């Protein structure tokens, strides 16, 4: 999409972004339309944070695609605990890890979690993991069952991957909602995941949703990252530095 010209009128700019823009005169308060829109978007963001995974729908979608799945819950047993204790959302209880035993080892573990927007996971999650699983199989890489994770933070993928004996983990989950989009899916990919892996060792694809990055493009980019990680043996900042040093396109 071309950037707006310097002579672009407000309507042209507003047509290419969902961000809040203010044109013209500004009074002491928002006009009624803007205030109501703000309240609606704030309510949508709150709803996204509190939304649960639609397990039945996700399981049905995966079954139609011929994909096996396992379900786990982090140490945050409730949504309230998940919000108040981020550390619990990164922890996989021993009993849950045991439920994954026997499903590995695999080349790539695929995790679909609620994150901070169960709505995003419900809308784009099943299609993304299906598209990625198809590409992994075509490349001769094993992925095992898709792990559906409730009350999940990004780092929950690390103990899941260890339980499955995975060399790489892909965690797709709802991103923190803003006032422009509450349905954005994020994908985090980590090579050699271990408990305590820093975020600097992960690569991220974000804004996967209608109106953002489509799931097919996201699956292609995730697959390209996985191939590069397997070739050079690392991920995150080290991967980005390798790409920059080699003069390669990042995507």
Q: What is the pLDDT of residue 224?
A: 96
pLDDT tier at 246, thresholds 50, 70, 90: low
Query: How many Å apart are CA 223 and CA 136, to the nearest integer?
Result: 7
What's the CATH class of domain 55-246? Answer: alpha beta
Q: Kindly report, residue by residue over 101-150, the tens digit of the pLDDT.
A: 888 799 999 999 999 999 999 999 999 999 999 999 999 999 999 999 99
Q: Provide the 8-state DSSP code for 65.
A: T
- pLDDT above 90 covers what percent of the chain? 68
Query: What is the domain partition of the chain in residue ranges?
Result: 55-246
What are the DSSP calls for 170-185, one per residue? EEEEEPPP-SS-S--E
Q: How many CA atoms lie within 13 A of 228 on its CB side?
A: 23
Query: How many Å apart are CA 100 and CA 88, to the nearest integer?
Result: 19
Mean pLDDT of the residues in the chain: 88
Q: Kindly report, residue by residue over 182-210, the tens digit of the pLDDT.
A: 889 999 999 999 999 999 999 999 999 98
Q: Is 233 left (phi over 0), alpha (psi -120 to 50) or beta?
A: left
* CA distance to 16, 17, 21, 74, per residue, from 24 (Å): 18, 18, 10, 49
Q: Which residues pair with 173 in a beta bridge?
A: 113, 186
Global pTM reads 0.84
> Per the structure block, which two tokens stand in for 197?
């892996």
Signed CA dihedral, 176, 179, 185, 188: sign only: negative
Please determine, for residue 21, whether its predicted confidence score (pLDDT) is greater than 80: no
């Amino acid at each position: 999409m071309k950037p707006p010209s310097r002579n672009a009128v407000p309507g042209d700019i507003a047509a290419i972004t969902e961000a809040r823009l203010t044109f013209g005169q500004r009074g002491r308060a928002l006009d009624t339309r803007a205030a109501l829109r703000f309240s609606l978007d704030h309510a949508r963001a709150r709803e996204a944070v509190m939304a649960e995974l639609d397990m039945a729908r996700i399981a049905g979608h995966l079954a139609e695609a011929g994909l096996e799945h396992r379900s786990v819950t982090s140490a945050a047993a409730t949504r309230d605990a998940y919000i108040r204790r981020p550390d619990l959302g990164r922890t996989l209880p021993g009993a849950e890890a045991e439920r994954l035993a026997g499903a590995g080892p695999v080349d790539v573990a695929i995790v679909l979690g609620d994150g901070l927007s169960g709505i995003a996971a419900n809308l784009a999650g099943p299609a993304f993991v299906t598209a990625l699983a198809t590409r992994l199989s075509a490349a001769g890489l094993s992925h095992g069952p898709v792990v559906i994770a409730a009350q999940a933070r990004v780092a929950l993928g690390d103990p899941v991957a260890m339980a499955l004996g995975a060399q790489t983990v892909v965690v797709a989950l709802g991103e923190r909602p803003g006032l422009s989009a509450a349905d954005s899916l994020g994908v985090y990919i980590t090579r050699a995941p271990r408990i305590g892996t820093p975020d600097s060792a992960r690569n991220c694809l974000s804004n996967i949703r209608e109106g953002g990055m489509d799931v097919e493009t996201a699956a292609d980019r995730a697959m390209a990252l996985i191939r590069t990680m397997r070739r050079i043996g690392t991920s995150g900042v080290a991967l980005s530095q390798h790409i920059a040093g080699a003069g390669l396109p990042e995507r």
